Structure formats: C-alpha cells, structure tokens
Structure 1
Amino acid sequence: MAISGIQIIGTQRSGSNLLRVMMDQSDQIASPHPPHILVTFIPLLKYYGTLDRVSYRRLVKDVVNYVNANPVPWEGVLLNEEEIFNQSERYHLLEINRLIYEQAALSKKAKYWCCKSMANVHHADDMEEFGLRLKYVYLYRDGRDVACSFKKAIVGEKHIYHLAKQWKYDQEACLRLRASLPEDRFYSLNYETLITAPENEVNKLCQFLDIPYHEDMLKFYDSKTSRLTAAAGEMWSNLEKPIIRNNTGKFLKEFKENDLEIFELVAGEVLTALNYELYAETKEQTLLDDVHLDQYIAENEFLKKESLLTARKSDLENRAAQLQIIKDIKAGIPA
C-alpha cells in the first residue's frame, strides 16, 4: 500500500492538536505529536556541512534521537536509524522527515501519515520541489484568539504586535500556497466552524482525504494519545475534555489597552480576507511608529523570559532533552 502524507498548516494555538488527535482516531491516519523536524533542523544544517555518507548518517542519528526525546512519545513507533539511512534515496533532511513519518504510518498500517508542524508552510516550496505531493490541511482561527492563547503558552511571541505579525505572516503563506495548488491537494478548515459543527466538518475532511468517517474521531478525549499529550504540557490539557464549543471571541474580554487596535492595524486585512469582523473603532497609525516598535520589542523579550520563569516545572523538564540535543549539535558534540 502506498503511503501518502498530510501536512497541517497555519499558526499554532489554532486547535491543531485537537485536529491532530481527532485525525489520529482514524485507522487510516497516523498523526503523532510533532517534534518539528524541519523547523528545528533546517537552521542546524550548517553544522553538518555538505551532506555526504558520513555527515548524513550523523544527521539521521541526531534527528532520530530528537524525535525519541519528544515531550509526547510516539506510541508504538520504533525508529531504526540504520534502516532510515539505508532506505534514503537522497541525502536530504526532507528524506529523513518523510521516512520517519512513514514509519509511523507503517506501524499503524495506515494510509496516511500526518505532520502537525504548522510552520512547515514556510518550507512548502522545498517540499513541493522535493516531490512529496502532500495534501495540505489549512486550519485557521481568528488571530486575535490565537494571540490570547499564545500569551498564556510556554512557547511563542508574547507582545500583541509580534503575535499579529506572526499570525499575518503564516496566513499569507497559507493563502499563497492555496492559490498555487489544485483543489484536491488543499483543504481549508475554519476552527470556529470545526468546534461548533464538528461532525459535519470532520465528515467533510474525511471526504477530502477519501477515508471513512468514524464517530470515534469525536471521542478523541478518551484516547491514549490525548492523555499522553495532555500529560506532557499544560497548554494541551484541554485534549482530555470534549470539544469546548464556545471557545471563541475570547479576545473581546482578554485584550487590554491598545491590543485590539494594534492587532487590527497589523493584520486587519488578513482578518477581513478570512471573513472575520473587525472591532477596533479607531486605528491610530502612530501605534506602529519606531518609538512604539522599540518598546514592543523590549516588552516582548521580557514577557518571553517571564513565561519561562513562571512555567510549570514539569513542562520545562519535558523539553529539556530536546534542547540538550540542539546544544550538543551546535557545540559539535557527537550523539
């Protein structure tokens, strides 16, 4: 059976783990928690030089170790670095990524593997040139609610200006990709519609993927993968609960001071393009002048450091092994 790939794209904190565990309930899809192979290792490739037999073998070993150190383990998937090396038709990071995800599908005897590393949209041109022929699922959520979620998360930007810029950047990349691909390879899924009409939306997604819908896909919260994910980090705790159908419009209560105005100044056009209503009564352009931007940069750095200081100890410990692997690679320490 030929194995195909699915790539979920968009911005994190848009319900992507909810979608991932839903999809993983299908016996046709293997959708493990993402270690973000491409986003992590593309910046590290310079430490390997030209990929020859020796350096590529080292890269395979490091990537496999990194996946094995993921905060959420890949249940039932045994990665053999020697097999991955021998199966590689090209010495390329995308080849390693493909073979690792295919192993997840093979372990489950599934038709698809699914990668939830949403920032991979920024590597879509490379994936297309590589010939992966993926199906893309673009999951999008009101960017203002995405910002509210990131403000509480251990990861990501923290100031509203930076959050708006990141969300806009990601959505524009997704929309460009949508315009370049045939309809049978790109599916747009709105988060707000997914949580209010989940059975209908998941049914339509299954039709796009040409797989049967199963009611267990909406009982994801009883699954082992949901429990493992929820246990690995506070920001995934909702995966042990049924869908929260009113989880929308939180920014209307949670935004403070100029948050709404700044977000809509930066990303208002994209919000409108995705059919979200704008709420700011005024849009003072001076909020984006150089003096304010310098202030936002300083505040963003402070808030990111503060989020680590106040993070749950177990959340930091769960990420420590992967961070050490990256440090060792940069220091030239062999795995």
Structure 2
Amino acid sequence: MTVATSDVEAIVFEVIEELLDTIDTDFEDELSSSALLVADVGFSSIDFVQMIVSIEEKLGAKIGFQDMLMSDGKYVEDLSVGQVVDFTVNRLNNPQLAVATPEAVATPEPAAATGPTITEQDVSVFTTLIKPRQAAGAPPAAGKNPRAVFVLSPPRSGSTLLRVMLAGNPALFAPPELHVLSYASMDERRADLDGERGDQLREGAVRSLMQTRDWSAEQARDLIESYEARGESTGEFYAQLQQGLGQRLLVDKTPTYAFSVDILRQAETFFDNPLYIHLVRHPCGMIRSYEESDLTRMMPLMMKSSAFSSSAVAEMIWLMSNRNIMQFSQQIPAERWCAVSYENIVNDPQGQMGRLCDFMDVDYHEDMIHPYSDNNARMTDGVDNSSKMSGDLKFHLHSQIDPAAATRWRQFCSEAMLGEPTLDLLSTIDTEVARIRV
C-alpha cells in the first residue's frame, strides 16, 4: 500500500509544531513546506534528532534518516520541511532503502591539519573549567552493593551503541546514563542537574526504575524525589535500583564519570569488586563527533564556556578522561579490567561482544549484535518519548551497526591536528587496544 504524501506531511508538521513549543526560537510564521529548519525555524543539531525520533515514533517505522542528514560524508547544513516529508515518503514506500547493508567503504584520504595544536599548558587551563569533585559518598548501610559493571569513556566514544548492545543480553541490565556515581547524595545530584540542561540527564535513573519495577514515570520520579528530600546517599539509590534486577548485572555507562578519578574511585566504595570496561575511540573520531553534536550545552560538569575552540575542547576532554581512566586502572586488579575500542566493535561486533561476555562471565546472546531492535527492552525510548533518551540521541539516526563510522573522521580530521600530549597517550593506548587506527 502506497503511503500518501499528505498523510506524512501532516505528521511532520505536527512534530515540528510540538518541538516549537519546547525550544528557544524566534520563529513565529506559519509553518510551510519551504521553511528551512535551521535558517528559518531555528533548529539546532539536537532539535533535528528530536524531530526525526518523534517522526519515527509516530509512524511506528525505522526510516534511516542518517542518509538524509549526510551528503558526501558531511552533515548537511540545512533542510526544508518539504525535503523531510519527501525523504520520509520515499523511505516508507521503498522500505528496502532503510535497511540496506552498508557497503565496504575505502579509507578516505586524511584531511590536512589546521589551527594550533594543544599543549600541556592548555590542558592545565582547561581543567580549571571542570567543577571540583565534592566529598565522597558513604558506603551503603547494609555493606557494599552487589557487583556492577562500569563502562568508562569520554563522551562521543560510542558508549551509547555499546550500552544498547549490552542491553540485548538478558543477563545484563544496561540502562541509559544514570549520572549517579558523580555525587555523594541524591540531593546534591538534584541540585547539580536541576534546570534545562540537566533535566534530560536525570531521566536515565527514572527510566531504569520504570523498567525494573514496571512503574509509571510518575512513580519512578516520586521514589527519586523521596531520596532527594531525605538526602540519601547515591550508594543507597544504587542498592534500591539493584533490588529489582534479580541475578542481572547492572551496567552503568555515564561518560562524565571519567572527568574525575575521585568519581571513579567511588565505584570501589559502593560495589563489591566491580568490573570496568574501558571504551576507547580514536581522538579524531571523538573530536569530529563532539563538534557535530554541539555537546557543550549538555555538559553539567563544565563550570563555564571556554575560549578554546570546540575541537580543542573535545581533544582535551578525550585526553583528560582517558588519563583519569588509565590512572584509575592502576588501582584495579587486571581480572576486573577490560579495554575495548569503538573501531573494533563496529568492525567485529560479534567477536567483541563475545569477548566482553567472557570478561563479565555471562553467556553470549545473539541479540547483542542487533542493537536497533526492541526499543523498550533496551530503554532507547526515553521516559516520555524517544527524543528524551539520556545518552547519544544520534543513535536514533541509524538502523544498524555501520563499520564505516570507524574511519569517517578521516575526511575532516588528521592526526597532525593533535597535540603532543594527545599523541603520547594515544600511542600508549594503542598498545592496550589493538586496531584503534583502522
């Protein structure tokens, strides 16, 4: 049955008008097919993602909007409402286009380096922009919580993809970003994440309780608010969450934990012999992803904006986070530590998931390599809607694992743009995680 353009247009218009009620924009004209989403309507990159997630949600179909947003390996600068409608109609009437197997992509020629490289002095200045760590939380009253698994990485390292892959294993409970370990108490967490930028970061804990208790969002929020009102420790909240897991292992992936070694140490205080997965992505790939995502607006641990370029900020976050992770790893027995690269995951998903299952002592499950199925079970649907998922919203742009994502950055970046501190650490990590330079 052919889908009518008018039906799709009605849904797209409805989604955009709903978004206009929630975003800061000066657009007051009547919406039309010719309206440009950036130049006229005032969309940001995150607004684009929220729009397409909502469209897919209303249609009940995976469209594969990545192909609409990218042209010749670059993200388009703008799209009209009509282009979104036409693309959607075409995909609905030709569903094979949305699920086509990615073709092998030749490694593109590296881009030339531009701009100054960062120095250790730059890194020292940058670290002053990170909020200082508060006092450590107390161990749970009943003793340490059961073992949990922590995925440690800088932002934009592929941790959402890895999290959703792990969530496909019935022996694991891998919720959206919890943003819990960073704080000593739940009221401290509430104070730090209160407001427009932090609201979305608080939703992962809500979604987790909804999943484990079969609760409504209101019930989950009520419990969290009671913990906040009493100033309960974050360790006690973890205990509450784990009570609903049975024998499943909790997997907490929250990239900002790597902003402080003191945050990472708190995992040892709260849990019995926790396991750690160090997820590494090539710094150029992380930098490119960071710039595309306008991520600074979602960084609650950043005290203020900096005079550094976005690429320099991204590079220093990569460097600072991985330094902290590797320093922390020196305190952890080797049998509780596993390093894996994003590049290996997208090129060999089955092999890497099998390796991680062996590390966590759980059976491998085939669903792990099909991360774009069963949104509810994998908690990629958010609390109120998919566009409010805590984590990388760009996960929703794809319909399957894309090996080309490992090297796409080479069209725009070069290792020559990296500072000496970053290259030094990269060479060290390369000895721990093979093939990061695929």
Scaled by the length of structure 2, the TM-score of the pair is: 0.50
> For the structure 1 residues 235 and 82, does the alpha-carbon distance in structure 2 shift closer, same or farther, using more than 3 Å as the test?
closer
Partner SS state of residue 180, structure 1: coil
> For the structure 1 residues 67 and 23, does the alpha-carbon distance in structure 2 shift closer, same or farther, using more than 3 Å as the test?
same
**Among 160, 174, 180, which residue is 1:37 paired with?**
180
**Among 243, 253, 264, which residue is 1:124 paired with?**
264
Unmatched tracts of structure 2, length 5 or more: 1-144, 194-198, 300-308
Aligned length: 253
The corresponding residue for 2:356 is: 205
The corresponding residue for 1:148 is: 288
**Among 15, 27, 38, which residue is 2:158 paired with?**
15
The corresponding residue for 1:5 is: 148
Q: Does 1:94 align with 2:94?
A: no
Unmatched tracts of structure 1, length 5 or more: 49-58, 60-64, 280-335
Identical amino acids, percent of aligned pairs: 17
**Counterparts in 2 of 1:296-307, with a 5 A limit?**
none
**Counterparts in 2 of 1:1-335, with a 5 A limit?**
3-39=146-182, 45=188, 69-70=203-204, 73-74=207-208, 75-77=210-212, 78=215, 79=220, 81=223, 91-96=232-237, 98-103=238-243, 106=244, 108-121=245-258, 122=260, 123-156=263-296, 159-224=310-375, 225=378, 227-228=380-381, 231-232=387-388, 235-238=393-396, 240-255=398-413, 260-275=415-430
Distance apart, 1:8 and its partner CA: 0.6
Partners of 1:47 and 1:71 in 2: how far apart? 12
Amino acid at match of 1:117: T
Amino acid at match of 1:29: L
Amino acid at match of 1:95: E
Are the equivalent residues in 2 in contact too, given 1:226–1:240 (CA < 8 A)?
Answer: no
Amino acid at match of 1:28: A
Partners of 2:190 and 2:166 in 1: how far apart? 36
Are the equivalent residues in 1 in contact too, given 2:178–2:253 (CA < 8 A)?
Answer: no
Are the equivalent residues in 2 in contact too, given 1:227–1:239 (CA < 8 A)?
Answer: no
Distance apart, 1:120 and its partner CA: 1.9
> For the structure 1 residues 129 and 227, does the alpha-carbon distance in structure 2 shift closer, same or farther, using more than 3 Å as the test?
closer
Amino acid at match of 2:250: W
Q: When you count helix as a share of all residues, which structure comes out higher?
A: 1
Partners of 2:234 and 2:288 in 1: how far apart? 34
Structure number with larger C-alpha Rg: 2
Amino acid at match of 1:165: M
Partners of 1:42 and 1:171 in 2: how far apart? 26
Partners of 1:146 and 1:196 in 2: how far apart? 17
Partner SS state of residue 222, structure 1: coil
Partner SS state of residue 339, structure 2: strand
> For the structure 1 residues 3 and 17, does the alpha-carbon distance in structure 2 shift closer, same or farther, using more than 3 Å as the test?
same
Amino acid at match of 1:36: H
Are the equivalent residues in 2 in contact too, given 1:72–1:232 (CA < 8 A)?
Answer: no
> For the structure 1 residues 100 and 14, does the alpha-carbon distance in structure 2 shift closer, same or farther, using more than 3 Å as the test?
farther
> For the structure 1 residues 110 and 84, does the alpha-carbon distance in structure 2 shift closer, same or farther, using more than 3 Å as the test?
farther
Per-residue Cα deviation, 1:266-320 (whole angstroms, up to 9, x for no partner): 41111111229999xxxxxxxxxxxxxxxxxxxxxxxxxxxxxxxxxxxxxxxxx
Are the equivalent residues in 1 in contact too, given 2:165–2:369 (CA < 8 A)?
Answer: yes
- What's the Cα RMSD here? 3.7
Distance apart, 1:110 and its partner CA: 4.2
Partners of 2:348 and 2:332 in 1: how far apart? 27
Partners of 2:256 and 2:396 in 1: how far apart? 22
